[in-house]
Structure 1
Amino acid sequence: MRWTSALAIYILFWSFSVFLVLPFGVRTSEEAGVAHIPGQAESAPHEFALGRVLLRVTIVATTLFGLYYANYVYGWVTPDMVDMTKY
């Protein structure tokens, strides 16, 4: 696999991981015990820690990409194993 292909696939894993990680660890103002700001949605997060989210996303994406690349190298699951057209 070329390094550019690996980078593109890693970026895809990273961008998908954002949507997996974002909902976890979010507390609303009510859960944090702080008054709402006028005009703020009740479901809006109290604080948004961008660094923490980026770190979590990077860990998840790197883990998933590592599993993908290991499967690519060692061939644990191949297209022939999941081909449902021959049944």
Structure 2
Amino acid sequence: MNLVGGVVIFLISWWMCLFVVLPIGVRGQFEDGEIEDGTEEGAPVRHMMPKKIIWATIGAIICTVIAGLVVVPLLQYYGG
């Protein structure tokens, strides 16, 4: 796997991991009973995006390493 392939796998893995961690720990305003005027009652009270971005990055690194451990031996075996 070359550098471009690794970056592509990382970016795809990052977005997939971000979509997996987005709903974790989200509480809607209706659950707390304090709905701010002009917002949807299902809008999150705290979005925790910095923490979720960090978790998505860690997950993407793990997925990229696993993909590299699978792809590189296959490329060597099949002569690619």
Q: TM-score range by the shorter chain?
A: 0.7 to 0.9
Gaps of 5+ in 1: 76-87
**Per-residue deviation at 1:5?**
1.3
User: In the alignment, which residue of structure 2 is the partner of 1:28?
Assistant: 28
Determine what percentage of the aligned residue pairs are the same residue. Answer: 26
- Structure 2 gaps of 5+ residues are 75-80
Post-superposition Cα deviations, 1:36-61, rounded to whole Å, max 9, x if no partner, equal 01232222110122210111111111
Q: CA RMSD in A?
A: 1.6
For normalisation by structure 2, the TM-score amounts to 0.77
1:14 equivalent in structure 2: 14
Give the secondary-structure state (helix, strand or coil) at the position aligned to 2:43: coil
Tell me, in whole angstroms, the C-alpha distance in 2 between the residues paired with 1:48 and 1:30: 15
Dislocated runs of 4+, deviation >6 Å: none
- What TM-score results when the alignment is normalised by the length of structure 1? 0.71
Report what 1:68 is aligned to. Answer: 67
Q: Cα offset for 1:29?
A: 2.3
